[in-house]
Amino acid sequence: MAVPARTPTSVPWRAPWKARSRAARRRPPRRVCASCARCASRHPHPGPEVWAHPYRRFRCALDRPRTRVLGCTPARTRRPYRRREASVPRSGPQLPQRIAHFDLDSFFVAVERVDDPALRGLPVLVGGRGGRGVVASASYEARRFGCHSAQPMAQALRLCPQAVVMPPRFERYRAVSRAFHAILRDVSPVVESGGIDEAYVDLTGVGLDAGGALAAAQRARKRVHGELGVSVSACIAGSRTVAKVGSDRAKPDGLIELPPGGDAAFLAPLPVRDLPMVGPKLAERLHAVGVRTIGEAAALDARWLEARFGQSGLLLHERARGIDPTPVHAGGRDVKSVSREVTFGTDVTELDELRRALHRHAERVGADLRHAGRRARTVTLKLRWSDFETVTRSRTLERPCESTAALAQAGCALLDMLWRGSGRRPVRLIGLGASNLVEDSVQLGFADLAAGERAATRRSPLRDERLDRAVDAIRARFGEDALSRGA
């Protein structure tokens, strides 16, 4: 019996270049294996009988791991095409931002009272005793008489003659400050130091199961008081600016928590001078146009503020409404400049003494730059004459530097220029600053490397940097007074 010929189930396919019409330009019909339901439209697909030998385990060529055809998917697992939708976060609702500002109360005075309890309850001033000394910190008992920080010591003693004057001990203050910041880092990993006695802490999402941000701040304040013996004021708000203003309002030894969305209402009745960005000059200009409170500044039109005060006006409009998108930086904010200055007890008229003071400033400024991993492109000299006239001069260096020798050399060159042009006027204050900072990644040239090989007999930038780092290591281990440079 003859087997009837198999009739095709579809129109014979022609190659695209042989197609006579658009309808004929289509892909060949799919051929599906009857045993595994896989397509073999583009690949050779021998029937199941080829792989049905007893010594072979596979019924279909497409089932072999090494001969598996890419793009062939079992029919039973084939899924219909779906258009991809926009990704939706699965983290749930966003938590309101909670930023706390912690500020130690009369920090220097508090440390002195911890070491000497007999000072408790007495008006205490920390600062220099000389006629030109400045108050670094004043106790609340002394503030009732009008004493405050950054005030001449002579004026403070006239206001409060019975005050006890204590010389500052900065090494001791820095040790307590490190312990204070360590306690805050136990509460939250995102802590940014705002100075030796203050810090910003991001408490967003901290302690949700144990009372939230308020309970976390209370625990931190309790530890600071119990372990260090000093009091700390704090404020929890939705931004850095409002938290800073609130901590000042919470002094002494207080804690304020503002509800989410209540920053603007808290700021509205306060004087505009309470904003950290508003200095005396800007406050006078605002008072001249009738703006006395933060709420009045927030009610003004942003375009009018920009036209009147420039970019400061736009910033004022945002801060007055409690808007401050600046986040808390766990590693601290980038250093913009480093400076040191000193006020002499008596006016200085000798150039050599001024140069020695500049060298001391260069050592401290250079150490700060090396510690921060920065180099300075610009060196600035500041002089204040005996009649309180202040002048500054700057010099941009050819190559960024961090070495003490290079900073001192640039500062002394500026000093010589000012000294000759001033007619040797008596100097009341001298300062040295480094700005326009860049990363500490300056490549040495061939001349520097060659000079480094002759470092034993000749000064070079490479030798100066090695010497500075060795001095820094010795002072870090044995103290600042362990080593001093010769003239």
Query: Catalytic residues, which ones?
Result: 198
Rounded to whole angstroms, how far apart are CA atoms 28 and 10? 9
Phi and psi at residue 79, in whole multiples of 5°? -110, 145
Give the Cα separation of 380 and 370 in Å (integer).
18
**E-only strand ranges, 349-486:** 374-385, 390-401, 427-439
Strands 164-166 vs 191-195: parallel, antiparallel or unpaired: unpaired
Specify the DSSP class assigned to residue 27.
P
Residue 252: is the preceding peptide bond cis (ω within 30°)? yes
Cβ 267 vs Cβ 242: under 8 Å: yes
- CA angle 473/168/360 to nearest 5° reads 45
Of the chain, the end-to-end C-alpha distance in Å amounts to 121
| Other CB atoms within 10 Å distance of the CB of residue 212 | 17
Nearest Cα residue to 403 out of 470, 335, 341: 470
The rounded distance, in Å, linking the Cα atoms of 474 and 487 is 19
DSSP E strands in 352-455: the ranges are 374-385, 390-401, 427-439
Contact 357, 351 (CB under 8 A): no
- Name 244's Cβ contacts closer than 8 Å, sequence gap at least 6: 101, 235, 276
Cβ neighbours of residue 310 under 8 Å, at least 6 residues apart? none
Q: How far apart are CA 181 and CA 201, in angstroms?
A: 10
